[in-house]
Chain A
Amino acid sequence: MATVTIRDLNKNYENGFHAVKDVNLEIRDKEFMVLVGPSGCGKTTTLRMVAGLEEITSGEILIGARVINDLPPMDRDIAMVFQNYALYPHKSVYQNMAFGLQMRKYPKHEIEKRVRDAAEILGIEPLLERKPRQLSGGQRQRVAVGRAIVRHPQVFLFDEPLSNLDAMLRVQMRVELKRLHERLETTAIYVTHDQVEAMTLGDRVVVMKDGWVQQVGEPLELYGKPANRFVAGFIGSPAMNFVSVTISESGGDLWADAEGLRLKLPPRLVDRMRAHAGKRTTLGVRPEALHPASGADPADCCFDTTVDVVEPLGNEILVNFRIGGAPMVARVDPAVRVKAHQGIRVALDPERIHFFDEKSEAAL
């Protein structure tokens, strides 16, 4: 039962690198919070400060009501799963899992019971006597998780735990981690650079870049209402399409113009965008909001272009083309027949477009 509160957290390294900048987060009890961002965005540093492995330059971290800034890692009541698993190579699986309990002087029968329980949950009972080098990647991963859960800590910390696994195993372990979290109901902080992992695992997701928190929210909120261009481009695969447009007003309507594109803004955006008339802004549209135009689509949200590359994925087709010099991708139904270099008329769902300020990149 624990919340984790991070207040005005900063990390400056001795070489002057400012890795984490004014991070404020409130992680609720039993919540699965995912920190996601490109490498060097400060997510791992933030996690390591929570773990006590990295000194805090300024700010405060609280677990529950207790400030833990100056507590050594062992007194923080946390457990961490590392990217390279960090299993003790000279100890058996059982000893690896028991080590944390032995250090805390638990009675032998209690250790035995907890290790067996955790091994059962994770399906690693037959491996208990093996050494880490005799295990496959997925098994090591399970042992690393097992070592964390035997301690019944207040908070789990995960540092990119799935990135050393192959793609299929990663999907499988992702589901297992989610199931495990539902079963254990322990607060968890999970760091990853993979936005799919972040979206599928997180109750809420924190997107970071260059040490700053960009946005905190539930996965679908991040996807549907990105706070800025970075979040919009980072969350979702393929990424959101961006094209630079000029907003103009004619006949009471607002229009977004780019080379080869003239789009009428829907009424919900008119009031908000009127202030930007005559200015350049960035139009963002997700691949699934684009589709080959049919007669039902109004003419003022369609445009003509030439297909560049077609990527058939089976359940969908990705159609690449260019508008106003910007590359764009549309995610279309596999029944649609398109070929490379063929002319195509594309319709855009005006209810699902986003605008971003050209300079600040904030959502408008």
Chain B
Amino acid sequence: MLIERKWKKWIYFYLPIAVFILFTLFPFYWMAVTALRPDHVLYRTWRQASATPFWTLEPTLEHFRGLLQTTSFPKWLWNTMLIAIVSTLISLVCGMFAGYALARLKFRGSEFLGTAIFITYLVPQTLLFIPLADIIRDLHLGNTPWALMLTYPTFLIPFCTWLLMGYFKTIPKELEECARIDGATRFGAMVRIIFPVAIPGILSAGIFAVTLSWNEFIYALIFMSSAELKTVPVGVVSELIRGDIFFWGQLMAGALLGSIPVALVYSFFVEYYVTGLTGSVKG
């Protein structure tokens, strides 16, 4: 009986999860292996008897060295981080207030407003960049970090608002009512009680927003033209693919270094992140 159960656990649990992990982690592994492979191995055909496509026998850091010394990668990394953080902060502040209002205040048209905000999130960026480009040009913001810091919130604010609205709705109303009886104004109750209780939700909205702006491509491609001001996703692609030549080693090294900060952020806040998304507040 017990043996049968063990056997079933392997089939129904461990095996699928192993396949899933393999499937998700393989691209990262491939990226790492490629970044560490010297060029003469990288461009060698797999049909050779000595080919080892899934690992490398001569690991090298030459691609990382090349990336950091011959390109503006450190600058791109800095740009990406700065833009992601500033646009996330703007979006979080707006999203917290808007989400609270939509979750708690009953005013005429509040439901319509909630839906309208959600719809703006659904408008594809590939359509939105055309009018935005016009605005950026009129404001003379083109080719400055502000172009991205101010355009990213156009999709981050609706996203944060919706995520936080859902989270605020899971917080018992009584907490706030109690605070108001205890002597806080509505604003005071929001800032002193609701926001601290909503930290898991706010953090997960923040993590998502950072990731979205970190990975953003179209706006960064269009609004930034000088190599110095580019972000990692755009810089890596535009500077390391020249015509039909792909600098695979440096491309992968860039991608790997670019994804490490995001991975670190996720791993530090994973618990908050999960409670944030499942919205479990206990009074």
Confirm or deny: A177 has a beta carbon within 8 angstroms of a beta carbon on chain B: no
Chain A residues within an 8 Å CB radius of B199: 90
Contact with A along B166-208 (1 / 0, CB 8 A): 0000001011011111111100100001001101000000000
The answer to whether B177 and A86 touch across the interface, beta carbons within 8 angstroms, is: yes
- Shortest CB–CB separation between residue B47 and chain A, in angstroms? 62
Confirm or deny: B124 has a beta carbon within 8 angstroms of a beta carbon on chain A: no
The answer to whether A86 and B178 touch across the interface, beta carbons within 8 angstroms, is: yes
A86-B178, A89-B197 given; A132·B283 CB < 8 A: yes
CA distance A157 to B167 in the complex (A): 29
The A interface is mostly helix, strand or loop, or mixed, namely loop
The answer to whether A87 and B180 touch across the interface, beta carbons within 8 angstroms, is: no
| Total A-B pairs, Cβ < 8 A | 68
- Shortest CB–CB separation between residue B279 and chain A, in angstroms? 13
CA distance A82 to B193 in the complex (A): 16
Chain B residues within an 8 Å CB radius of A340: none
Confirm or deny: B281 has a beta carbon within 8 angstroms of a beta carbon on chain A: yes
The answer to whether A103 and B283 touch across the interface, beta carbons within 8 angstroms, is: no
Binds B, one of A73-81, A113-121, A280-288, A325-333: A73-81
Confirm or deny: A223 has a beta carbon within 8 angstroms of a beta carbon on chain B: no
Confirm or deny: B282 has a beta carbon within 8 angstroms of a beta carbon on chain A: yes
A85-B283, A87-B283 given; A79·B181 CB < 8 A: yes
Q: Which of B228-283 contact A (CB under 8 A)?
A: 281-283
Chain B residues within an 8 Å CB radius of A78: 181
Chain A residues within an 8 Å CB radius of B182: 74, 99-100, 103, 147, 151
Contact with B along A78-111 (1 / 0, CB 8 A): 1110111111111000000001100110000000
Chain A residues within an 8 Å CB radius of B178: 80, 82, 86, 88, 147
The answer to whether B179 and A99 touch across the interface, beta carbons within 8 angstroms, is: yes
CA distance A89 to B174 in the complex (A): 12
Chain B: which residue is nearest A75 at the CB level?
Answer: B183
Chain A residues within an 8 Å CB radius of B193: 88
Q: Which of B196-228 contact A (CB under 8 A)?
A: 196-197, 199
Chain B residues within an 8 Å CB radius of A76: 181
Chain B residues within an 8 Å CB radius of A89: 175, 197, 281-283
- Shortest CB–CB separation between residue A53 and chain B, in angstroms? 5
Chain B: which residue is nearest A132 at the CB level?
Answer: B283
Chain A: which residue is nearest B199 at the CB level?
Answer: A90
The answer to whether B184 and A82 touch across the interface, beta carbons within 8 angstroms, is: no
- Shortest CB–CB separation between residue B42 and chain A, in angstroms? 52
A82-B178, A85-B283, A88-B175 given; A103·B184 CB < 8 A: yes
CA distance A100 to B179 in the complex (A): 8
Chain B residues within an 8 Å CB radius of A99: 179, 182
- Shortest CB–CB separation between residue A135 and chain B, in angstroms? 11
9 more A-B contacts (CB under 8 A) besides A80-B177, A86-B174? A53-B180, A79-B181, A84-B174, A86-B177, A88-B175, A88-B193, A90-B199, A99-B179, A100-B183
| Residues in chain B within 8 A of chain A (CB atoms) | 172, 174-175, 177-185, 188, 193, 196-197, 199, 281-283
